[in-house]
Amino acid sequence: MSERRAVVFDVDGTLIDSLRDIVGGVELALRRHGVTPPRSDVIAGFVGDGARQLVARSLGYDLDDARVGPVLATYLEYYEAHPVGHAVPMPGAVAALAALSAMPLAVCTNKPRGVTAGVLAPCAFGRRDDAGACSP
């Protein structure tokens, strides 16, 4: 029996640097709901535990607070429509994918599927041949 091997990557902070797009989307969502956003670096510190947690922390509310849902919906709607504006491949990501191209490769992320596809496609990871910035 042959051994199968694969590599699974996280997306944000591993394959792409999408922090400016994520923070910008949260800032926009908060403003649309009449909330002054915290500083960008504060929002950036909330990234990594999923969108609901990100929005709740940015609002200063508990995760299950009913006020989180509408702001979260606005954030997700905006981010899905604008997945890349400032995103760039992480240093070495394109080269790593090229070096591993003979193996099955996958991503595992808590980012919604539509946003994930919207972020990865313009970064040329499907082709594994573009070291430039992601573009819509």
What residues does each domain of the chain span? 1-18+84-136, 19-81
Query: Is 129 one of the catalytic residues?
Result: no
Can you say whether residue 48 is alpha, beta or left, with left for phi > 0 and alpha for psi between -120 and 50 degrees?
Answer: left
Can you give the pTM of this predicted structure? 0.84
Report whether 17 contacts 90 (CB < 8 A): yes
Q: Residue 135 above 60 pLDDT?
A: no
Percent share of the chain, pLDDT over 70: 88
Task: List phi, psi (to 5°) of 67.
Answer: -75, -15
Domain 19-81 sits in CATH at: 1.10.150
pLDDT tens digits for 6-50?
889 999 999 999 999 999 999 999 999 999 999 999 999 999 999
Buried b (16+ CB within 10 A) or exposed e, 23-33: bbbbbbbbeee
Superfamily of domain 1-18+84-136: HAD superfamily/HAD-like (3.40.50.1000)
pLDDT at 134: 62
User: Residue 16: which H helix or E strand, with range?
Assistant: strand 16-17
* Catalytic choice (10, 12, 17, 62): 10
What's the average model confidence in pLDDT over 90-111? 88
What is the Cα–Cα distance from 13 to 31, expressed in whole angstroms? Answer: 26
What's the average model confidence in pLDDT over 40-69? 97
